[in-house]
Structure 1
Amino acid sequence: MHYMFQQSLEEFITEAKRYIKDGKVAKYIPALERADANDLAIAIYEQNGAISSAGDVSNIFTLQSVSKILSLAVAIMDHGKYYVFQKVGMEPTGDPFNSISKLETSVPSKPLNPMINAGALAVTSMIKGESVQEKIHRILLLVRKMANNDSINYSSEVAKSEYDTAYLNRSLCYFLKQHGIISGDIEQLMDLYTKQCAISVNCIDLARIGAVFAFDGQDPESKEQMIEKDIARICKTFMVTCGMYNASGEFATKVGIPAKSGVSGAILGSVPHKFGIGIYGPALDDKGNSIAGVELLRLLSKRHELSIF
């Protein structure tokens, strides 16, 4: 089976690369603009620690919105799901991830789900800690544990680049503060959120994190319960309903793998009880998803019948 995977991954990378020309790297965060649009890599992490990969899996990139699934896990660990979902909804949205309009029209004014920026900012504001450093350290601890890589850290350069240009996210924060969804200092929240988004990993790290979710919160090798089964279930459900921005419905139909994307070109995939997937392909489609990465997942899902539906 590993041999089959290895063979098909090389083949899929070649096929999916044809889509790169139709995508563009993220321009609105200056530090992301320097990514090489032609990069494409995938890693699959199985229960016994077997790894299949293709492309340059040593490339380091930032989590961006993939971090939303991890901060959600931390916030639920900190407060329980009842508290978290009093402040943030559970409904998918057809709007872009950075939209402010739905906040104005929904009553009460709570974000629709934790995967849009407004919802993610509300979730990050709940993470416990005396300082930004303590809070980011707690997120990093979980990421390092799930990836089994103690060297994972955030990129100060990317974090600063995002912090300096995060006008829309600041607007969302002030709106949420006005409506009592978040409290506390907005600049400290922006500092934490931009650092969270700038956590740097490679495809193998990402695939291993995906594997922990796939095995209901258990370490794929040691079987240690890293996050509660119910939290892993909630996170995977949001990946299916809201993980691919406002293309989530189409992705569920065509691919059917719980996944979360980020504008760095990262995609974390989690095939329940089978394996985790890590993808990096910085050329994005118009929704903000890795254009070749989505095609890679479609090919993989079709060939190996991985859709959960």
Structure 2
Amino acid sequence: MQNLLKGIIESNKIYTKEGTVASYIPELGKANKEDLGVCVVTLDGKEFMAGDAEKNFTMQSMSKVIALILAILDNGKKLVFSKVGMEPTGDSFNSITSLEVKHPERPFNPMINAGAIATTALISGETDEEKIENILSFTRKITGNKFIAVNEEVYRSEKATGNRNRALAYFMKSNGLLEGDVESILDVYFKQCSIECNCRDIARIGAMLANDGVLPWSGEKVISREVSRIVKTIMVTCGMYDASGEFAVGIGIPAKSGVGGGILASVPRRMGIGVYGPSLDNKGNSIGGIKILKELSDELDLSIF
């Protein structure tokens, strides 16, 4: 496995020169577009890494997986999916038209920005600080990394430039989809997106989901098999923005990307995979990361279909 990962990094490094970093969030624009890393965590707890796998970056939309899990744990699936749908959308992840014209009663799914804001609003906690601490505590548990924290520079950059997300949130508030103070909800959302991680961290989350909610390195069950199944299914149908269908056909792995360059992937009953490559395609997905997952899927026959 180690040699395979090293070879895959070497063969796909060239693709990092394509695309662009997410400069519309100024702090993300500082990333080195040629970075590329991968980590695989198997269900017996073995870990294999290559390239820039230990380089830190922020979760961005990968954190939507964590928000969905916590929202279900805190409220039950019935309430959660009364606030957000389960259907894929062909529109971009931050589309206003999608919410206002096509699906005004609730966001299409929890993996687009509007849907993630709705699930974040459901996470328990009396204050913003309690909510983000609950998110951080759970993330530390499922990664086994007690140093998981918010990158304050990225958070401030997200907050300063997050006007599209404000528009989505205030529209949902006007339709009765959000309860509570909109700016407080958004503050938690911006912080959750700014949680710092590396490829090992996200591969461990993927391995937990692949293992039906059980942490491979400790045997602790942190979520039910049902919640794990729901999350993986939504990752397959909605996790790669409006390229989810193409990704499912070509690679066939439950996955969630983030504009920080990460992709969290989970191969049921086999492994978790974390990749990092901040050079993005026009859908907001890591170009190098997708190439890595395609080659891994082909080499190891990982497609679930």
TM-score band by shorter chain is over 0.9
Match of 2:225 in 1: 229
2:262 touches 2:278 (CA, 8 Å); kept in 1?
yes
Alpha-carbon distance in 1 for matches of 2:105, 2:13: 42
Identity level (%): 53
Alpha-carbon distance in 2 for matches of 1:282, 1:56: 11
Match of 1:122 in 2: 118
Unaligned segments of structure 1, at least 5 residues: none
Matching residue within 166, 180, 196 for 2:176: 180
Alpha-carbon shift at residue 48 of structure 1 (Å): 2.0
Alpha-carbon distance in 1 for matches of 2:223, 2:238: 21
Alpha-carbon distance in 2 for matches of 1:104, 1:26: 25
RMSD over equivalenced CA pairs, Å: 0.9
Alpha-carbon shift at residue 53 of structure 1 (Å): 1.1
Alpha-carbon distance in 2 for matches of 1:107, 1:70: 24
In structure 1, what residue type is equivalent to 2:43? Q
Alpha-carbon distance in 1 for matches of 2:280, 2:189: 22
Match of 1:160 in 2: 156
2:107 matches 1:111? yes
Alpha-carbon distance in 2 for matches of 1:226, 1:133: 23
Say which SS state the counterpart of residue 256 (structure 1) adopts.
Answer: coil
Matching residue within 236, 251, 257 for 1:255: 251
Match of 2:216 in 1: 220
2:171 matches 1:171? no
Matching residue within 263, 273, 288 for 1:277: 273
Match of 1:293 in 2: 289
2:141 matches 1:145? yes
Q: Deviations 1:39-73 (Å, cap 9, x if unpaired)? A: 00000011222111110222001000000010000
What aligned pairs does 1:68-79 form with structure 2 within 5 A after superposition? Answer: 68-79=64-75
Change (3 A) 1:187 1:42: same
Alpha-carbon shift at residue 106 of structure 1 (Å): 3.4
Match of 2:262 in 1: 266
In structure 1, what residue type is equivalent to 2:126? E
Alpha-carbon distance in 1 for matches of 2:280, 2:100: 29
2:188 matches 1:195? no
Alpha-carbon distance in 2 for matches of 1:14, 1:196: 32
Alpha-carbon shift at residue 255 of structure 1 (Å): 0.4
Q: Deviations 1:103-144 (Å, cap 9, x if unpaired)? A: 222355210000000100011011110111100011111110
In structure 2, what residue type is equivalent to 1:8? L
Change (3 A) 1:66 1:51: same
Say which SS state the counterpart of residue 33 (structure 1) adopts.
Answer: helix
Alpha-carbon shift at residue 266 of structure 1 (Å): 0.5
Runs of 4+ in 1 over 4 A off after TM superposition: none
Alpha-carbon distance in 2 for matches of 1:224, 1:114: 26
Aligned length: 305
Change (3 A) 1:274 1:177: same
Match of 2:242 in 1: 246
Alpha-carbon shift at residue 247 of structure 1 (Å): 0.3
Query: How high is the TM-score relative to the length of structure 1?
Result: 0.97
In structure 2, what residue type is equivalent to 1:285? D
2:52 touches 2:276 (CA, 8 Å); kept in 1?
no
Alpha-carbon distance in 2 for matches of 1:215, 1:146: 12
Alpha-carbon distance in 2 for matches of 1:190, 1:295: 33
2:63 matches 1:67? yes
Say which SS state the counterpart of residue 279 (structure 1) adopts.
Answer: strand
Match of 1:20 in 2: 16
Say which SS state the counterpart of residue 260 (structure 1) adopts.
Answer: strand
Match of 1:211 in 2: 207
Alpha-carbon distance in 1 for matches of 2:104, 2:114: 14
Alpha-carbon distance in 2 for matches of 1:249, 1:168: 25
